[in-house]
Structure 1
Amino acid sequence: MKIGVMGSGAVGSFFGSFLTEANHEVTYIARGKHLAEMRKNGLSIVRGENKVIIHDTFSEKMEDLADCELLLFCVKSGDTKETAWKLKQLLPESTYIMSLQNGVSNEETLVEVFGEARVLTAAVYVQASVESPGIVKQSGRYRLVIGSLSDRGEEISEKVSALLNDAQIPAGCSSRIMLRKWKKYLFSIIFNPLSAAADKTIGQILDDPYLKEIAWTVGREAVEIAKLMGYPLNEEDIKTAFENAEFAKNHTTSMLQDIRNGKTTEADELVGYLIDKAEEYGRSVDTIRTVYLLLKSREIIF
């Protein structure tokens, strides 16, 4: 199959590498030093103790995706709308688009652009980072849970899941994929912004009683808004998020990576989205808002 990776950072590069190894024709869209290094020496993927080097099509031109059958959509949330509309002009109507992005808001944009029937999304579970241009490092467990946003999309979800599993990517399907993504989003909203605002890893948050209390309060505020939006999260989901965090204590979150690398974070899209929803329902999320403002103050330093 011809597969495109739109946004070949840590997540796109990592999962794309399995598809290349499974002999699919994969086109990786990237830019800057990361792209230059991949073109020169290939894409190096460090999976735990193992290292593979991928040689495939590395490009900065979206036009090179024009004949792909499946597109892994991995751009930062702030780039979703502009990128999607550009791709709309290039991709055939038969191409399926699968979001591997953070958060729970990108799907609305993708459906607006491509239509509900063509859009899949995935809850992504992986600890990966771009260690240096052309090199992606992953540790711990990884898997995908995918689903369609259309009531009639179960068949294509199962086909894509089978394709991923054949490529040695653990993948399952969910008929309630957005609820699954909200549970994943709950973990992200608890730990990601706070880690970047406080310059702490997940483990350092768990080990600090004050930061841990802030994180727990963020979780409670997020659960309240989720319920109002029709997603039945509860205190047990917060407990599960903290239990899962024990397996990622050494993980540097994506927002903290962005801050340390002098990049703009996804705070507006991931945290701002929840703040906006709270305002729509007339609820206050004071702790989430405070963490957001602290994080934005760190971005101003750039």
Structure 2
Amino acid sequence: MKVAVMGAGAIGCYYGGLLARSGLPVTLIGRPQHVDAVTQRGLLLDIGQEQFTVPMAATTEVSGVAGADVVLFSVKSGDTEAVGRAMLPYLRPDVTILCLQNGVDNPDRLRAVIGGTVVPVAVYVATAMAGPGHVRHHGRGDLVMGPNPHDSEIVQHFAAAGIPTTVSATAIDALWAKLIVNCAYNALSALTQLPYGRLLAMGGVAEVMTDVVAECVAVATASGVTVSPEILPSVLGLAASMPGQRSSTAQDLAMGKPTEIDHLNGFVIRRGAELGIPTPANRVLHTLVKATEAVKRGD
């Protein structure tokens, strides 16, 4: 199984690195500084107290997807359509594209651009880039993947690489559950630049998260999504299992990069407006992150 990783950030590098380490041919497609580092000395992969150097192909060119049986699609949500259009001429007709992205509407948006087999995947992993071509794993790593024509083969290869993968007809529900977690944590972690453990220990944070989760659940339910009644305890309990983790939004904001907040809290706001459901807590967090982005840009 030949694999291409479109968007070789922390998520793409982690899973691409594990697959390459298991012996599969993997090509990372990413930014020049990461590609140069991987080309020169391989991908550095930190897991627990161990560090692995994984030799693998890397390129800055979208044509790197050519010939791939499976594409791990892990670009930022705001780039979904543009990157999809760019890689379309190079895709095999029978390629399987796994959407390893935040948010719930990326598979539909990508499918509208390229057609074919685009599979929703809920990603449960804590990773961060420690430097060019250097990814650090902080916890978990399992996937929930929608059904597709090659799911048995994919699950087998992923299992051999140490990636627990479940095939589920309710993968979209899993994506919504992850969206709710992200809406609760990402903006607050970004605005405070605190890891989850310290964040939740602050007075009032649990109450804000409770309001955010309630709004998200109302929007999800009205959208026909099944949400576990244990979603709030699950959200509030995440900090204990990942106390040192900072959200991807926090990492983007700290580096002056555009965040995905429009596809997290912003998505809930837009969907709530369509359904006539007020989302004031999500709106406040979204507005504050957007304002902070503007300050970082010097607007």
Tell me the TM-score range normalised by the shorter chain.
over 0.9
Residue 133, structure 1, aligned to residue 127, structure 2: no
**What are the within-5 Å matches in structure 2 for residues 102-251 of structure 1?**
102-115=102-115, 118-148=117-147, 153=148, 155-233=149-227, 235-251=229-245
Q: What's the CA shift string for 1:28-68, capped at 9, x where partnerless?
A: 00113222222222210101111111111110011121111
Normalised by the length of structure 1, the TM-score is: 0.94
Structure 1: give runs of 5+ residues left out of the alignment.
Answer: none
Aligned to 1:298: 292
CA separation in 2, counterparts of 1:201 and 1:21?
Answer: 30
Give the CA deviation at 1:275.
0.8
TM-score normalised to structure 2 length:
0.95
Counterpart pick for 2:274 among 260, 266, 280: 280
Q: Distance in 2 between matches of 1:215 and 1:235?
A: 16
Q: Distance in 2 between matches of 1:26 and 1:86?
A: 20
Contact 2:127 2:135 in 1 (8 A): yes
Counterpart code for 1:192: N
Instruction: Quote the Cα distance in structure 2 between the aligned partners of 1:145 and 1:23.
Output: 23
Q: Residues of 2 paired with 1:14 and 1:130: CA distance?
A: 9
After superposing the two structures, state which structure 1 stretch, 134-143 or 274-283, moved more: 134-143
Amino-acid identity (%): 30
> Matched residues in 2 for 1:68 and 1:133: separation?
24
Amino acid across the alignment from 1:147: G
Alpha carbons 1:146, 1:161 under 8 Å: kept? no
**1:107 aligns to what SS in structure 2?**
helix
Cα distance, 1:141 vs structure 2: 2.3
AA aligned to 2:143 is: L
Q: Please report how far the alpha carbon of residue 199 of structure 1 lies from its aligned counterpart in structure 2 after TM superposition.
A: 2.5
- Per-residue CA deviations over 1:141-164 (Å, capped at 9, x if unaligned) read 22111113xxxx3x5223211221
SS in 2 for 1:63: helix
Distance 1:100 1:301 in 2: 29
Residues 248-285 of structure 1: CA distance to partner in whole angstroms, max 9, x if unpaired? 11101110011111111111122221111011011210
| Contact 1:97-1:118 at 8 Å conserved across structures | yes
* Per-residue deviation, 1:235: 4.5
Q: Distance in 2 between matches of 1:199 and 1:279?
A: 29
Q: What 5-or-longer segments of structure 2 have no aligned partner? A: none
Equivalent residue number for residue 42 of structure 2: 42
Q: Once superposed, which parts of structure 1, at least 4 consecutive aligned residues long, lie more than 6 Å away?
A: none
Residue 219 of structure 1 contacts residue 238 of structure 1 at CA under 8 Å; is this kept in 2? yes
Q: Does the Cα contact within 8 Å between 2:265 and 2:285 map onto a contact in 1?
A: no
Aligned length: 296
Aligned to 2:73: 73
- Shift in alpha-carbon separation, 1:234–1:175, aligned structure 2, 3 A: closer
Taking only aligned residues, the RMSD between alpha carbons, in angstroms, comes to 1.4
Q: Which amino acid aligns with 2:29?
A: I
- Which residue type is aligned with residue 129 of structure 1? A
**Deviates most, 134-143 or 121-130:** 134-143
CA contact (8 A) 2:193 2:246 kept: no
